[in-house]
Amino acid sequence: MAQKVLIIEDDSDVVESIKLRLEADHYEVVSAANGEEGLKVFEAQKPDLILLDVTMPVMDGHTFVKIFKSKYSLRDVPIIVLTGKDGMEDAFRLEGVRNFLTKPCNADELLQKIQDSLNQA
């Protein structure tokens, strides 16, 4: 069975680009346009890993992580934060997130980060 990745990202072009690459590597992909929707999709789909944008409408990535941590373990479901902003890592590290990629990200680097994160979980 393919491992499932949830992409929480408000830029549909970014979602589609990542989705195509991941599906080509035999991952199942689901997506959400903001953190609030992401929590609902997570509960319904139970993905193995989350790719999380930081700046989104309705609920941003930081708020998502705080709520997610109150219900689930980051050890069981790793989160990779995707950000175009510098200086965000420290705030997320305090919440327990250990994996980060700067957008736009290299597809090979993204795949390696996903594989490493899933192997650690």
3-state secondary structure of 47: coil
For position 100, what pLDDT does the model report?
Answer: 85
Assign residue 16 the CATH number of its domain: 3.40.50.2300
For residue 7, the surrounding DSSP H or E stretch is strand 4-8
The total domain count for the chain is 1
Whether residue 47 has a cis bond before it, omega within 30° of 0: no
Instruction: Identify whether 110 is part of a domain.
Output: no
Residue 88 lies in a domain: no
Residue 10: inside a domain, yes or no? Answer: yes
Please give the pLDDT value at position 27: 97
Q: Degrees (nearest 5) of the Cα angle 67, 68, 70? A: 65
Q: What is the residue range of 79's domain?
A: 1-83
Residue 3, in any domain of the structure:
yes
- The pTM is what? 0.90
Q: What is the pLDDT of residues 43-77, one digit of tens each?
A: 999 999 999 998 888 988 889 999 998 888 767 89
| The predicted structure's pLDDT at residue 62 | 86
